Structure 1
Amino acid sequence: MWTLPEPMLTVAVPACDLRPGWAGEPKWDGFRALLSVDAGRVVLRSRRGSEMALAFPEIAAGAAQLPDATALDGELVVWDAAGRLTFERLQDRLARRGAGAARAAGEWPAHFVAFDVVRLSGTDTTSWPYRQRRAALESVFAERRLTAPWVLCPSTTEAETVREWLTWASVGMEGVVFKRLDEPYRPAVRGWQKYKTRETTEAVVGAFSGPAAAPRTLLLGRYDDEGHFQYIGRTTTLAGATGTALAGQLHRSRRGHPWTGWSFSAWGSSEKLSVTLVEPELVVEVGIDVARDASGRWRHAARWHRARPDLSPADAPRW
C-alpha cells in the first residue's frame, strides 16, 4: 500500500543568488503539508506527521478536483482581507473540528499552495527530477482547471524574477526556496536551499530574561504615535559576553513601567516567562525576518547585532 513520504527539507543559505541548473520558488508563511487522495480517502499531514484534514474541511473537499491516487506537497496558507498572509488565523484553525472547523473555513478559508507532486494517478514520482515533476504539476492544474482551495506555486529559472519576489515581504512572503532541476524528491533529506528575507532595524529594550548580571534575552518595544510603548518581539539567546556587557546599560524600572502587569510566554510554549522590567531607554540593533503576527509583532526571534547608545528611543522606528 502506498503511503505519503516524509517531506523533503531545506537548508538555510546566506545568499539569494539563483544559479544555473536551479529553480526558485517563493517561500510562503504558512504550514508545510502533504496531501494525498486515494479512492476518496484524503490524508492531509503536517511536516511533523499530524493529521490535519478534520481542521481544514475545505481542503479535504477540494481533493475531489484532483486525479485519484495523487499526492501533493505544498503549504497551507490563509489570506486576510488586505491580501496579506495571516499565520495567526491559520494557527487558530488547527484546534477546530466539526462545526467549528466548518465555520472557520467559511470565515477564514485556507488554500493549499502546491509546489510539488510526489504521486500522480498511481505513479510514484519521487524518483523524477524536479523539472519533470514541475511539468507534471503544471499539467494537473491546467488539465483539471483547478480552482480554490488549490494554488499553483510560482517557479522560475530567471534571477530577475527571484529578485522581484524578494520585494513581496509586505504580503508575508518569507524568502525563496531553491531546487536543483535534475534532483529527485528525497524524503527527509535537506536537499533544497532556503534564503529568508531579513532586515536590520532598531528597537528599545523594555525588559530582559535571565540573571541581571548577564541577561539571556531582551524583550523589545517601540513607541506608537500616541506615545504608548508597545511590545514588538524578543531576541534569540545572547552570547554570554554580550549579556554581561549589556548588564551595565540596563537599569531596573522605576514605578510606572508601561509593561507592569503584562505576562510573556516562552517561545513555542504557554509557560510564563520570568522577566525583569527595565527603563525603556537603550536602543539596540537587531536582525529580523519578515514574518509578522496580526498585531504587527515579529513572529520569530530577532538576532542580536549591537547596542546603539548613540540613539534615543525617539530615533527608533515607530510601532
Structure 2
Amino acid sequence: MLAQARDTIPSPGALRGGLAMDLKWDGYRAIAFSPARPDGPFLLQTRRGSLIQDRFPDLAAAAVQLPPGLVLDGELLVLNSAGTMDFEVLQRRAVTTTPRAVQTLARAHPAYFVAFDILQLGGQPIVAEPYEQRRSRLEALFAGHALSPPWTLCPSTKDPAVAREWLETWTRTPGVEGVVCKGLLQPYRPGAIGWLKVRARQTTEAVVGAITGTLSRPRMLVLGRFDGEGRLRYVGKTTQISTTAAQQLVGWLTAASVGTHPWEDARFSTAWGNRDVLDTTLVAPDRVAEVSVDTAQDRGVWRHPVRLARLRLDMPVNDVPTV
C-alpha cells in the first residue's frame, strides 16, 4: 500500500475512521515473510518484487524469532560505524552479492526491520481487517513473542500534537523523514495509494547549473553546490516550474559559454535510480535558488525533487552551503 504526499498533517476526517500516524523512515520498503515451516526459507521482498534475503543474512538468522506464516510490511534500515542510520550503507548492502562481502557488511553494518503493518498471521491473510485492528495484532505480536532487534516496532500515535512534534524534532535524526497517516478503518490494499505522507522540509540554497526547457521558458532547474576544492557538484533538481515562476526567471539565467562550464560532460537522470537522461541546457553558474527540500539524501544529493521558492539575486554563489 502506498502513500500520497501532503505538505501538512491532514484533519482527522481525511481518512476513514480518523487518523493513526506512523514515523516515516528513510530506508528500503520491504515485505518480510517468515518461514511457513521449520525448514522453510525466510524471504525479503522489495517494492519492485526482488528477493534480497541473501544480502541480509543477519535478518534471515533472526527470523527464528518470528512465528510461522507471518508477513510483515516495513522498512529496512542500516546503521553505520557511528551508530546512525545511513542510506548509503543500506544501498551498498542491498546491491552486494558476493557471499564474503555480504557477511563482512552484515557484521560491520547491522540491518533492522521496522515493522509498521501486518498482512498475514498464522498463514491467514488479514489485509481486509481495518488498520486499527491490524495495528493491535502487530503490537500483540511483538509483546507475545518478545521480538527484539533487528525486529523493531514502528512508533505510532493517534495524537496530531505528537505527530507534529515528530515532524519538528525527530526528523533531525538521520533516517527519519516525517510521518505516514493511515485511516483507522482502512483495509490494506496492495499497490493502492490510500495513505498520506508528510515529509519534514527545510529551506536552503543551491547554485543553478542547468535547466530543462529553454531560457525563455525554463521547466526545471538542475542544482549544484561547491565542494571543498571549489568544484560544482550536482545536488538535485526541482519539480516542474509553474508558468508564473518561469517568467520570473527569464532574463536572469544565461547560457554558459562553450568550454567554461564544469558540467559539460555530465548527464543527469530524470529521477533518482532511473537511467533515463534529462535534456538540459547549461547555464552560467552565477545564480542562487532558494529551495524547499526534505531530509532524504544520498551522498549529498537530494533524492526527491526539490521545490523552487525564488531566485536569491542578493546572494553570491560562494555563500551557498558546500557539500
TM over 0.5: yes
1:220 and 2:234 aligned: no
Q: Secondary structure at the match of 2:95?
A: coil
Which residue does the alignment assign to 2:80? 80
Instruction: Specify which of 294, 317, 322 is matched with residue 313 of structure 1.
Output: 317
Displacement after TM superposition at 1:174 (Å): 1.4
Work out whether residues 18 and 24 of structure 1, in 8 Å CA contact, stay in contact via their aligned partners in 2: no
Work out whether residues 18 and 157 of structure 1, in 8 Å CA contact, stay in contact via their aligned partners in 2: no
- What stretches of structure 2 of length at least 5 have no aligned partner? none
Tell me, in whole angstroms, the C-alpha distance in 2 between the residues paired with 1:73 and 1:158: 23
Instruction: Specify which of 29, 32, 36 is matched with residue 29 of structure 2.
Output: 32
Tell me, in whole angstroms, the C-alpha distance in 2 between the residues paired with 1:251 and 1:165: 42
Q: What does 1:15-94 correspond to in 2, within 5 Å?
A: 15-17=8-10, 19=12, 21-37=18-34, 38-39=36-37, 40-94=40-94
Q: Secondary structure at the match of 1:174?
A: strand
Q: What does 1:146-157 correspond to in 2, within 5 Å?
A: 146-157=147-158
Q: Secondary structure at the match of 1:279?
A: coil
- Once the two structures are superposed, residues 257-301 of structure 1 have per-residue CA deviations (whole angstroms, 9 ceiling, x without a partner) of 4546555444233456554443322122222111111x3221222
Work out whether residues 18 and 158 of structure 1, in 8 Å CA contact, stay in contact via their aligned partners in 2: no
1:297 and 2:301 aligned: yes
Q: Which amino acid aligns with 1:149?
A: P
Q: Which amino acid aligns with 1:69?
A: G
TM-score w.r.t. the length of structure 2 is 0.84
Which residue does the alignment assign to 1:279? 284
Which residue does the alignment assign to 1:5? none
- Once the two structures are superposed, residues 19-77 of structure 1 have per-residue CA deviations (whole angstroms, 9 ceiling, x without a partner) of 37321101111111111121122222222222222222222222221001111111111
Q: What does 1:113-192 correspond to in 2, within 5 Å?
A: 113-166=114-167, 167-170=169-172, 171-192=174-195
Q: Which amino acid aligns with 2:42?
A: V
Tell me, in whole angstroms, the C-alpha distance in 2 between the residues paired with 1:114 and 1:58: 16
Q: Secondary structure at the match of 1:59?
A: helix
Tell me, in whole angstroms, the C-alpha distance in 1 between the residues paired with 2:282 and 2:8: 37
> Residues 82 and 125 of structure 1: is their aligned pair in 2 closer, same or farther, counting only changes over 3 Å?
same
Q: Which moved more, 1:244-253 or 1:171-180?
A: 244-253
Q: Which moved more, 1:65-74 or 1:241-250?
A: 241-250
Q: Which amino acid aligns with 2:52?
A: M
Q: What does 1:244-283 correspond to in 2, within 5 Å?
A: 246-254=249-257, 257-259=261-263, 262-267=266-271, 268-270=273-275, 273=278, 275-283=280-288
Tell me, in whole angstroms, the C-alpha distance in 1 between the residues paired with 2:220 and 2:238: 6
Displacement after TM superposition at 1:150 (Å): 0.9
Q: Which amino acid aligns with 1:269?
A: N
Which residue does the alignment assign to 1:233? 236
Say what the alpha-carbon RMSD is for the aligned residues. Answer: 2.7
Tell me, in whole angstroms, the C-alpha distance in 2 between the residues paired with 1:296 and 1:66: 37
- Once the two structures are superposed, residues 96-138 of structure 1 have per-residue CA deviations (whole angstroms, 9 ceiling, x without a partner) of 2251333322232221110111111233222322222212212
Work out whether residues 27 and 175 of structure 2, in 8 Å CA contact, stay in contact via their aligned partners in 1: no
Tell me, in whole angstroms, the C-alpha distance in 2 between the residues paired with 1:314 and 1:195: 32
Q: Secondary structure at the match of 1:148?
A: coil
> Residues 276 and 101 of structure 1: is their aligned pair in 2 closer, same or farther, counting only changes over 3 Å?
same
Tell me, in whole angstroms, the C-alpha distance in 1 between the residues paired with 2:297 and 2:286: 24
Tell me, in whole angstroms, the C-alpha distance in 2 between the residues paired with 1:261 and 1:128: 54
Displacement after TM superposition at 1:205 (Å): 1.0
Work out whether residues 73 and 114 of structure 1, in 8 Å CA contact, stay in contact via their aligned partners in 2: yes
Q: Which moved more, 1:96-105 or 1:239-248?
A: 239-248
Tell me, in whole angstroms, the C-alpha distance in 2 between the residues paired with 1:237 and 1:159: 31
Tell me, in whole angstroms, the C-alpha distance in 1 between the residues paired with 2:244 and 2:185: 46
Work out whether residues 12 and 195 of structure 1, in 8 Å CA contact, stay in contact via their aligned partners in 2: yes
TM-score w.r.t. the length of structure 1 is 0.85
Displacement after TM superposition at 1:157 (Å): 1.5
Q: Which amino acid aligns with 1:288?
A: V
Q: Which amino acid aligns with 1:91?
A: Q
Q: Secondary structure at the match of 1:41?
A: coil
> Residues 164 and 79 of structure 1: is their aligned pair in 2 closer, same or farther, counting only changes over 3 Å?
farther
Q: Which amino acid aligns with 2:19?
A: W
> Residues 279 and 187 of structure 1: is their aligned pair in 2 closer, same or farther, counting only changes over 3 Å?
closer
Tell me, in whole angstroms, the C-alpha distance in 2 between the residues paired with 1:257 and 1:187: 46
Q: Which amino acid aligns with 2:104?
A: R
> Residues 266 and 129 of structure 1: is their aligned pair in 2 closer, same or farther, counting only changes over 3 Å?
closer
Q: Which amino acid aligns with 1:184?
A: P
